[in-house]
Amino acid sequence: MITGPGNAYVAEAKRQLFGRVGIDLPAGPTEILIIADETADPALVATDLLGQAEHGPDSPAWLITSSERFGREVLNEIERQLLTLPTADVAGAAWRRWGEVAVVEDDDAAIALSDEYAPEHLELQTRHDDYYLSRLGNYGSLFVGEESTVAYGDKGVGTNHTLPTGRAARYTGGLWVGKFLKTVTYQRLTQEASQRIAPIIGRMCHTEGMLAHEITADVRAQRYAQRARASGD
């Protein structure tokens, strides 16, 4: 298996080799979404949005808030910080193309919208962080409270950093030990069980027009019926 994070070249290498070997997931541009309300610090929220935007000009950075005033404060902070940010050429390009501020009615609306975006990295900076924690379902990794930030997860606190992007968090999580386990199955039936299930499977196959499939069931039903009669069962 080929696993782990990387840039566009790593993603392309995984794409080309998938099938010859396994991969963890095809990761796209990194993403951040922050849910924040008026109790948060707009400067800190702006800092975290730009912190992820510097990954590249194709890196989305989104804010969901229930306060229009707060959203405008964050917008102003982003423009102010871009004046002195060392990587403003990259982060600014990403923000201008992919940056979004969404104003929603309440906490539940914020949860619904965030789950629709299914971001790779999701930060919470609200007065009701535990409410969000218990209800959010679609994200790669969640950073609860202003004391936590994406860079911590990227570099050192120990949580997984190979995460789903491009809304893939709707159906999968990040890399974990289960990705390295190959699951196989087998079936073993008694003659009695095979004889009982054969007519059911045969009818299903016939309905689907899979007539050769139907025959594989029918011959077993006939064979085991004959054996049962011969043995007197």
Regarding whether 166 and 65 lie in a shared domain, the answer is yes
Which of 55, 121, 146, 214 is catalytic? The answer is 121
Nearest in space to 123 (alpha carbons), one of 174, 63, 69 = 63
Contact of 224 with 195, CB cutoff 8 Å: yes
Token output for 119: 């971001």
Judge whether 9 lies within some domain: no
Regarding whether 95 and 48 lie in a shared domain, the answer is yes
Instruction: Count CB neighbours of 207 within 10 A.
Output: 9
120 is catalytic: yes
Domain membership of residue 36 as a residue range: 29-179
Q: How far is CA 226 from CA 157, 189, 190, 216, 219, in A?
A: 67, 17, 15, 16, 11
Query: What pLDDT was estimated at residue 233?
Result: 64
Regarding whether 175 and 201 lie in a shared domain, the answer is no
pLDDT for 6 beyond 80: no
pLDDT single digits (tens) 154-204: 888 888 888 999 999 999 999 888 889 989 999 999 999 999 999 999 999
d(Cα 59, Cα 187) in Å, to the nearest integer?
47
Collapsed DSSP state (helix, strand, coil) of residue 83: coil
213 is catalytic: no
Count of domains for the chain: 2
Which of 31, 54, 73, 120 is catalytic? The answer is 120
d(Cα 147, Cα 125) in Å, to the nearest integer?
9
Regarding whether 122 and 92 lie in a shared domain, the answer is yes
Regarding whether 201 and 163 lie in a shared domain, the answer is no
